[in-house]
């Protein structure tokens, strides 16, 4: 009886260890994925931002030019 109990205990411990390892691995994978995603996002943002800024600047310039032309016409 004693031996059986011990065996069962050992089995339980092994199972727990395995479970913990699996969980840790899963967590690590998830973390890595998240990190990758964050980096991708950062890269996208870094690429997009200058483009957007350029576009905005161009639009402002255009607007300004148009306004100047109108003022000239008005005179």
* pLDDT score at 75: 66
Q: Exposure pattern of 7-39 as b/e (b: 16+ CB <10 Å)?
A: eeeeeeeeeeeeeeeeeeeeeeeeeeeeeeeee
CA 70 to CA 64: how far, in whole Å? 10
Span 52-59, average pLDDT: 92
pLDDT in tens, 10-54: 999 999 999 999 999 999 999 999 999 999 999 998 999 889 899
pLDDT confidence of residue 49: 86
Looking at residue 38, its pLDDT comes to 96
Cα–Cα distance for residue pair 44/31, rounded to 1 Å: 20
Question: Which pair of tokens denotes residue 74?
Answer: 């008005």
pTM of the model: 0.54
């Amino acid at each position: 009886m004693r031996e059986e109990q011990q065996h069962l205990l050992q089995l339980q411990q092994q199972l727990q260890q395995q479970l913990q390892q699996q969980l840790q691995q899963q967590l690590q994978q998830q973390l890595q994925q998240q990190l990758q995603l964050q980096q991708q996002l950062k890269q996208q943002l870094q690429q997009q931002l200058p483009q957007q800024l350029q576009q905005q600047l161009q639009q402002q310039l255009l607007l300004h030019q148009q306004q100047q032309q109108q003022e000239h016409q008005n005179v």
